[in-house]
Amino acid sequence: MNEIFVTGHRNPDTDSIVASMAYANLRHALGDRNYKAVRIGAINDETQKLLDRFGIEPPPLVKNMRTQVRDLDFDHPPALDRSVPINLAWRTLHEGSLASIPIVDEDNRLYGMLSSGDIATHDMQAMFENRITDVPLFNLLSVLEGTLVNEYATSVSSVSGELFIALPQNYEDAALTNPGSILICGNQPEVIQRAIDSGVGCLIICRSDIRPEWVNCSANTCIISTPLTARRASRLIYLALPVERVCATENITAFHLDDYLDDVRETLLKSRFRAYPVLDADERVVGTLSRFHLLRPRRKQVVLVDHNEAAQSVPGLEQVDILEIIDHHRLADIQTGQPIRVRNEPVGSTNTILTGMYQENGVVPSPKIAGLMAGAILSDTVMFKSPTCTKRDIAMAQRLAGIANVSLEELGKSLFSFGGAEKSAEELFRTDYKQFHISGQNLAVSQITCADSQQLLDRREEFLAFMHELQRKNDFDMVILMITDVLREGSHLLYIGSDDTIQQAFSVTPMNNQVFLPGVMSRKKQIIPMLTALWG
């Protein structure tokens, strides 16, 4: 089952984080368990306070949505233990029409790769040799479909030696004069007894009755009985070697589940193998990858909440399939390859929209989720004082507070109490920071909302120094920090850029890169529209 990621914007605020969790929770309640809330930025202090209050962990962090190996429909062939005989590996390759298979150790970690070419090379070499070395007895019995005749009288664990076949005519005694040899014979009792008496290392009896004296033999000879013909046994014995002897173990190109498709393509262009092992984070084999798997990759599926602008969304957005957008901001520049569901409403919080969706589907959020959603509405509407706030926001927040059994006033005050004195100016600036592209102008606007702005204004020079550096590195035309004071119902603006722009956009006279805008509480409705009107 493919995961569908629900994500808010970069540098997420409380509304963004809670919206992703609330929507995934709604889909779960409706039976769609493959929806997963994620975040693409750090949790700010306000959001963490809200999550801690209701005992809920934040969504996992996703750095980007680029297509990865885990998104491909790669093959899942058997991964064989390095001890299995070549014969079994050959059957696995042949029956599965596979080019190669992974060979693993006892921990399922990659040991090597085995191809039909590796087996063919071994088979050709065996034609010119007449000896096998250290073939495990278990492998030999398996390949020959045999049984150990004198299993209680031998401690042999592996077989080595020069190979001989006792033919009915013109038989020579070479094998009997070489105690370490391996002798294959048929229904030849005299030869069998002579071989045992001479101490042949291994005696393979093909299609013959087994006499009691052979069963009770206490000699060091390993006696095996097989239903195969002597000719077939003489061929298969070379395939009893463990695959670790013939598989490739050096210069193996392997990929991991988290590797990005762009990087994989580049690597494949430099190599010519037909299949490559795929490993998980613990280096365990999970499959094999071939070039044709890259032709039609399965794209990640995403639902965007609380934003619809590419610059604010997850890196790698161009490589995903956007399934749905739920937002309360202006429509921006995101494009899709096919029609999708879009829910965009003029309210103060995405969670107000989501509360309506819960109602429409007859789903009552749990008290914890309801408490989070109420807090998110309070956060985005600045305790209902933002001009973006609507009567619907207030009504939905009150309904959620009733489910969660919390006081909206107390919850709001706890959210906006400033607790970032120990943080750097950069950390505070990036808490709720967005980039905008308006009529060819590049703009960065951060907003910090608090109940007492003086603590932040005391650090004015720290903020301006960081904003200067941010402008230089990113070539911004303007960088603005809104310090929104809930009690004063207005915002202090610190800015880097044109004084004339601030003066014309807000009809104020700025001084030393700072101005106070009474009644201005919303970046979305009171800052961006004024700059858009000026630059447009």
- The share of the chain scoring above pLDDT 90, in percent, equals 64
Per the listing, tokens 């190979």 go with 163
Using the CB atoms, write b or e for 199-210: b if 16+ within 10 Å: ebbbbbbbebee
Tally the domains of the chain: 3
304 plus 410 within the same structural domain: yes
Say yes or no: 21 and 92 in one domain.
no
pTM over 0.95: no
CATH code for the domain in which residue 36 is found = 3.90.1640.10
Q: Of 173 and 368, which is predicted with more confidence?
A: 368
One domain, residues 466 and 491: yes
For residue 211, pLDDT over 60 is answered with yes
Q: pLDDT confidence of 170, banded at 50, 70, 90?
A: very low
Whether residue 217 lies inside any domain: the answer is: no
What digits encode the pLDDT tens for the residues 463-499? 999 999 999 999 999 999 999 998 888 999 999 999 9
Backbone angles phi, psi at 319, to 5 degrees: -100, 10
pLDDT tens digits, 131-140: 888 999 999 9
Contact 21, 56 (CB under 8 A): yes
284-340: pLDDT as tens digits: 999 999 988 888 788 899 999 999 999 899 888 989 999 999 999 988 888 888 999
Q: Are residues 116 and 249 in the same domain?
A: yes
Q: In the predicted model, what is the mean pLDDT of the chain? A: 90
Burial of 335 from C-beta contacts in 10 A (0-12 / 13-18 / 19+) = exposed
> Please, which pLDDT band fits residue 125 given cuts at 50, 70 and 90?
confident
Cβ neighbours for 247, distance < 8 A, ≥ 6 positions apart: 82, 103, 111, 112, 113, 114, 118
Give the residue from 147, 130, 107, 48 showing the smallest Cα distance to 283.
107
pLDDT tens for residues 30-40? 999 999 999 99
Task: Indicate if 430 and 531 belong to the same structural domain.
Answer: yes
CATH number at residue 473: 3.10.310.20
pLDDT at 172: 53
Mind giving me the DSSP string for 285-316? EEEEE-GGGGSSPPPPEEEEES---GGGS-TT
Mean of the pLDDT values across residues 259-279? 88
Any domain includes 289 = yes
Question: What does the pLDDT look like over 513-524, one tens digit per residue?
Answer: 999 999 999 998
Query: By mean pLDDT, which of 98-107, 209-218, 244-253 is the weakest?
Result: 209-218
Q: Which domain holds residue 489?
A: 425-535
pLDDT at position 220: 76
Q: Is the pLDDT of residue 218 over 80?
A: no
CA-based nearest residue to 86, from 117, 131, 129: 117
Of 355, 384, 416, the position where a domain reaches its end is 416
What CATH number does residue 265 fall under? Answer: 3.10.580.10
**455 and 529 fall within a common domain:** yes
263 with 120, same domain: the answer is yes
Going by C-alpha positions, the residue among 48, 50, 54, 60 that lies closest to residue 20 is 60
pLDDT in tens, 448-468: 988 889 989 999 999 999 999
- Burial class from Cβ neighbours inside 10 Å (0-12, 13-18, 19+) for residue 462 reads middle
Question: Is 446 in the same domain as 507?
Answer: yes
Q: Which has the minimum average pLDDT: 102-106, 156-160, 177-181, 420-424?
A: 177-181
Residue 441 tokens read as: 């102008």
- Output 337 or 445, whichever has higher pLDDT: 445
What distance in Å separates the CA atoms of residue 73 and residue 206, rounded to the nearest whole number? 47
Among 298, 354, 294, 346, which Cα is nearest to 326's?
Answer: 354
Summarize the confidence of residues 178-202 as an average pLDDT: 85
